[in-house]
Amino acid sequence: MNRLSSSGELTRWRALSVAVSTALLLFFAMPGYFGWWPLLFVALVPLLLATMYLPPLRSGCMGLLAGIIYNILTLHWIVVVLGRYGGLPPWLSVPAMVLLSIYMGLYFAFFCILLSLLSGRSWHRERSVATLVWTAPVLWVGLDYLRGVLFTGFPWLDLGYGLYSQPLLIQTADLGGHHVVSFALVLANGFIVAVIDRQRSAVRWNIRSERRALLFACCFLIFIFGYSIVRFRVMPSLVRHSLQTEVSVMQGNIAQDEKWSPEKKEKTIAIYERLSQQAVAQHTTELLVWPETALPFYPQQDPLAARVAGLVQRENTYLLTGAPTFSGAGVGKRQQVSYYNSALLYGPEGVIIDSYAKQHLVPFGEYVPLRKYLPFLAPLVENVGDFNAGASSRPLRVGNHLQPGVLICFESIFPEIARKEVTAGANLLVNLTNDAWYGRTSAPYQSLAMAVFRAVETKRSLVRAANTGISGFVDPVGNILEMTDIFTSAALTARIPVLEERTVFVRYGYIFGPACLALVPVLLLWRKHQL
């Protein structure tokens, strides 16, 4: 009896060590402070090995712990956003970050529970390891997709994003999006588990179906990364023969606690004027790009709007800038006014010729769900207003050849928004953002990593203008051509390719994630049939 208790205690400690090691390996692998991307190919091995032998409930607890630890390490910047800039005290901001980490950790838990049910050996001692190898990536990607759409979605830093700095390895994103890269990484981890499992003395080597399944997994990985390497080698020729355009981005580096100060708004415009004049004087730029809400006022009613229009007219160029806008009118109680987080396109004549309203708003940042029931969260939106969502994915038009699709702030982490804009005709992606909220944390680097994949998926150049950084340019292959440091004032100009082709991802490859999610109930029915 004592031996059983000791064994059980040892197993609990082993599960704890697996959870911690997996969380740390993932944290060190992902962009931010370390970015040791090779760890992505082994980070899930401890979790997969343990899940293969633990029963579902204990697997789920282990996965939940791993997910909570990993997300606390990854999402610690939430405390800065809610506390320093959102106005919440530590006794609210820290628990809010922990609650979000628990929510994100639930996906790890469900992954481990389902994997144990479908592929574990707690109920079948000699279950083929090939089942785990193929089931794990389907479950992981299916749950990633669910996390990206459930409760408005928060697909922050899915596994595949960890390879953003390696364009040689991520070109398959133009087939199935970043989800197919995540799929390949989980499959690679599972394949390593299979190699380890094959070393057991009791393994049955004569299972032909298992050998074929593992060989197919190996071939799939060769195809995924082989395609990526070939595509990476071919794209430069296409890029060189494409239309080129010169674009300049301005990084004003306006402090977040000063951004909306009425007495500082003229100084803000002066900074962007100086940076823009510097860019135009040194380059033949066709488009100036200012960050999200670079205009800290409503252009429809503020005299400073004329100063911006005058700048554009004098320099005889186009300007794309972020600004809050409103629409609607009325009298008395019937007055209906809607506010938007917008991107405004000024033409060379100094007038606004087009606009875009942000479609995917930040919950508890740009609007508060059930606000009347959560009055203590009101400070989160006092500085930026309570916005309405836009509905159009139509790209803007700059001259006769350039049609930028706009992604405001964290819209860049949603591949569907960029895909719809490219489908509607966008031949360039422009990400306007204000990452000052994040402070000097890992979040600006994580945000950039996700934006890189929007360029690769759609094979469109991406221009990024961030108030405090990171601003820069990403070519259609995912190479970061230029980038700024955070919390510096800068003006960057680059000559970037403008491509028109529509990738497999844009046409129908975007269904890869939903397809994996749809396979989950099919796998559960199959498992029930096997019992």
Longest distance between any two alpha carbons in the chain, whole Å: 87
Q: Are 418 and 455 a contacting pair, CB within 8 Å?
A: no
Give counts: helices (H), strands (E), the chain.
Answer: 17, 11
Residue 490: phi and psi, rounded to 5, are -155, 155
Q: Is residue 409 among the annotated active site residues?
A: yes
Q: Which residues contact 138 (CB under 8 A, 6 or more apart)?
A: 183, 516, 519, 520, 523
Three-class SS state of 404:
strand
Q: Is residue 218 among the annotated active site residues?
A: no
Among residues 148, 59, 141, which one has the least CA distance to residue 104?
Answer: 148
Task: Out of 358, 411, 420, 459, pick the active-site residue.
Answer: 358
Q: Is residue 258 among the annotated active site residues?
A: no
Helices 129-149 & 90-119 angle (0-180, nearest 10): 150
Q: Are 340 and 325 a contacting pair, CB within 8 Å?
A: yes
DSSP 322-358: EEEEEE---SGGG---EEEEEEEEE-TTSSEEEEEE-
Token pair of 338 as six digits? 């809607």
Task: Out of 61, 112, 409, 516, pick the active-site residue.
Answer: 409
Among residues 408, 494, 508, 523, which one has the least CA distance to residue 457?
Answer: 508
Q: Which residues contact 94 (CB under 8 A, 6 or more apart)?
A: 79, 83
Task: Out of 112, 210, 292, 315, pick the active-site residue.
Answer: 292
| Secondary structure of 221-288 in HEC code, one letter for each residue | HHHHHHHHHHHHHHHHHHHHCCEEEEEEEEECCCCHHHHCCHHHHHHHHHHHHHHHHHHHHHCCCCEE
Helices 90-119 & 45-53 angle (0-180, nearest 10): 60
Among residues 481, 429, 431, 434, which one has the least CA distance to residue 455?
Answer: 429
What long-range pairs does 271-275 form, CB within 8 A, spacing at least 24? 271/489, 272/321, 273/307, 273/311, 275/250, 275/251, 275/489, 275/490, 275/491
Examine residue 470 and say whether the peptide bond preceding it is cis (omega within 30 degrees of 0): yes
Question: Is the CA virtual torsion 281, 284, 287, 289 positive or negative?
Answer: negative
Token pair 């080698």 is at which residue?
A: 233
Given phi > 0 = left and psi -120 to 50 = alpha, else beta, which region is 61?
alpha
- Sequence letter at residue 280: V
Give the active site residues.
292, 358, 409
